[in-house]
Structure formats: C-alpha cells, structure tokens
C-alpha cells in the first residue's frame, strides 16, 4: 500500500450514516487515532485516505456543508470524489427512487431527501473539494444565497476565501453588493 490506507467513512453526519447503516463518526475518529498511534510506535510514516460520497440519499445541502467544515477542520483535501449513483438491488437505490427508508416500519416511515437535480449534485460534490477554486466559487455562491456569510473569509472557521478577485473583506462586500444589484430580479 505504500504507507496509504484507504478507508470509507463516506460521511460525517449521524443521520446520513444511519441511513447508510454505518457506525457513527466517533468510530472513524477512534480508528484514525489508533492508526496514527500504532504507526508512530512502529516508526512508520503511514497515512489514511478517507473516501466520502456526495448526494447519498438522506443528504441535503446542510449535511454536505457540515461534512465540508469537518474536512477542513481535520485538514483533509480530497482529490477523488464522486456523487452517489443508483445501482441495482441496493438499499440506497430504493431510498433514492422511493424517497423512503424501506427498513422503517410502514407507519413510521419518513421521507428521505435525495439530490436529483444536476445543479444540486454538482454543489454537493463541490463541498467535498472545498479547497479548489472551482468548488470554492460554487460554495461561496451557496453561502451568500443562504445568509451564511460568516463562513466566507480568511478565518479558521471560514470554509472558503473571499474569492479570486477580492482579497479583503471590504473588496468582497463591494463586489457582493455590485453582484446583488446586477442579479436582482425585476419587480
């Protein structure tokens, strides 16, 4: 393996992990801690490459945003990412097409959201690659449209920077106001 271990936590949010029938995030974090501890004790330089998936049934924009924030906090920069695509005879595909979790009793079933539009699926995939310019542009637009400006900037709690053409908060505000005027819908 060349010092690389690929592992598939697939998501961080408990609601989504439950639909995937996977253990909670704390199990993955415990595994990472033990892996790092034993790698250090053995004197080996080894790394974990986590695999995450976008647009899995049960995942909405907020869950993808929370996953992206977790990835940034943990300093993970994913290169290979993919959207969920339905495959025959799987639980996830049943949820994707029916909008329900077939494992719940009929009377207790709640709707399971699935991102089906191409625009939303691209946004979900962008959250996993928050560190690239193309993805950051899509995420920045989403954050501004959803009144989450506090996640745009240079701070450690910000997901994306102000943008390619704005290096300061003041320039960002001016550009954002200009953009809002240009994109305003006629009444």
Give CA separation, 106 vs 47, 54, 63, 103, in Å: 44, 27, 25, 9
- The stretch 169-186 carries a mean pLDDT of 50
* Tens-place pLDDT, residues 19-34: 999 999 999 999 999 9
Residues written for the chain = 187
Per-residue pLDDT at 182? 38
Q: What is the pLDDT of residues 100-138, one digit of tens each?
A: 999 999 888 889 999 999 999 999 999 999 999 999 999
Q: What is the average per-residue pLDDT within 30-55?
A: 96
From residue 76, give the alpha-carbon distance in Å to each of 45, 129, 168, 187: 17, 10, 25, 44
Chosen CATH of 4-131 out of 3.20.20.70, 3.30.750.200, 3.40.50.1000, 3.50.50.60: 3.30.750.200
Angle 61-73/133-145 helices, nearest 10 degrees?
130
Residue boundaries of the structural domains of the chain: 4-131
Separation CA 99–CA 74 (nearest Å): 32
pTM, rounded to two decimals? 0.85
User: What pLDDT, on a 0 to 100 scale, did the predictor assign at position 4?
Assistant: 93
User: What CA–CA distances, in Å, run from 73 to 69, 101, 112, 157, 159?
Assistant: 6, 31, 28, 8, 9
- Examine the pLDDT at 172 and tell me if it is beyond 90: no
When pLDDT is cut at 50, 70 and 90, the band that residue 181 belongs to is: very low
pLDDT given at position 187: 38
Question: What is the spatial order of strands in the sheet that 82-83 belongs to?
Answer: 4-10, 47-54, 82-83
What would the 3-class secondary structure string for the chain be? Answer: CCCEEEEEEECCCHHHHHHHCCCCHHHHHHHHHHHHHHHHHCCCCCEEEEEEEECCCCCCHHHHHHHHHHHHHCCCCCCCCEECCCCCCCHHHHHHHHCECCCCCHHHCCECCCCCCHHHHHHHHHHHCCCCHHHHHHHHHHHHHCCCHHHECCCCCCCECCCCCCCCHHHHHHHHHHHHHHCCCCC
Mean pLDDT of 77-102: 95
Alpha carbon distance 121, 55 (integer Å): 6
Tokens of 149: 């400006």
Higher pLDDT, 166 or 148: 148
């Amino acid at each position: 393996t060349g010092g690389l271990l690929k592992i598939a936590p697939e998501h961080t949010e408990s609601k989504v992990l439950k639909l995937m029938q996977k253990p909670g995030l704390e199990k993955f974090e415990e595994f990472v801690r033990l892996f790092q501890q034993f790698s250090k004790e053995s004197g080996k330089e080894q790394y974990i490459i986590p695999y995450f998936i976008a647009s899995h049934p049960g995942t909405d924009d907020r869950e993808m945003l929370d996953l992206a924030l977790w990835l940034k906090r943990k300093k993970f920069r994913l290169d290979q990412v993919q959207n969920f695509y339905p495959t025959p005879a799987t639980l996830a595909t049943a949820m994707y097409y029916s909008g329900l979790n077939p494992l719940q009793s009929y009377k207790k079933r709640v709707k399971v959201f699935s991102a089906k539009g191409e625009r939303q699926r691209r946004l979900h995939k962008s959250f996993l690659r928050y560190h690239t310019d193309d993805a950051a542009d899509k995420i920045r637009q989403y954050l501004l449209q959803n009144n989450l400006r506090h996640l745009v900037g240079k701070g450690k709690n910000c997901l994306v920077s102000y943008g390619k053409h704005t290096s300061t908060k003041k320039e960002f505000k001016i550009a954002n106001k200009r953009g809002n005027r240009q994109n305003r819908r006629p009444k």
